Structure 1
Amino acid sequence: MQLLICYETHDRTAFRAAHGETRERRDQAGLTQLQLWEEAEAPNRLWALYGVSDRDKAEAWLAEKSSLSSQLSGLDSHFLATA
């Protein structure tokens, strides 16, 4: 299973720094970052793809307030399964 997240940020550079600092917490939630993209037409919108080893932990991670919260104006997430 994968988790695709669209992060709407206030400042792409500050978000990327905060995102890097939260790696340990994502690891504890069973998430492995597979890819991080910056949207070409909207530079403050980033997309992340994570491998998910435990959906319950991943959902808890999404629900908690993290150090990323102050960097975000929005977040849209989708759990995906290989078809």
Structure 2
Amino acid sequence: MQILIQIDTPDFDAWKTAWDDDYEDRMQAGLSQMQIWRDADKGSTVLVLLDANDRKKAEAWLSKERGFGGAMTATFLRTA
């Protein structure tokens, strides 16, 4: 299963540094980064596609991330 996350950030560079620093936490949650996209016009919207091998761990990680207060949505996906 995959998770598509949309994050709105006023400072992409700071967000990307924090994202890269969170690598170990994502791995422990069973998440693997597949792709990151950045809005070509505004630059403040980031989309991240993650592969998730444990939904409960992924949901716990998402809850922790949402606790930091930034605007973030997440959708769990599966191949149709």
Give the structure-1-normalised TM-score. Answer: 0.89
Are residue 69 (structure 1) and residue 46 (structure 2) matched? no
Q: Provide the aligned C-alpha RMSD in A.
A: 1.7
Match of 1:10 in 2: 10
The one-character-per-residue Cα deviations of 1:27-57 (angstroms, maximum 9, x if unpaired) are 0000000000101122011000000000000
> Counterpart in 2 of 1:48?
48
Percent of counterpart pairs with the same letter? 39
Equivalent in the alignment of 1:81: 78
Question: Gapped runs of 5+ residues in structure 2?
Answer: none
Within a 5 Å distance, the mapping from 1:11-50 to structure 2 comes to: 11-50=11-50
CA–CA distance in structure 2, aligned partners of residues 19 and 7 of structure 1? 11
Per the TM alignment, residue 10 of structure 1 is displaced from its structure 2 partner at its CA by 2.0
Q: Which runs of 4+ in 1 moved over 6 A?
A: none
AA partner of residue 68 (structure 2): S
Aligned residue pairs: how many?
A: 80
Structure 1 stretches lacking a partner, 5+ long: none
CA distance in 2, matches of 1:42, 1:81: 29
3-state DSSP of counterpart to 1:69: coil
The one-letter amino acid of 1:78's match is T
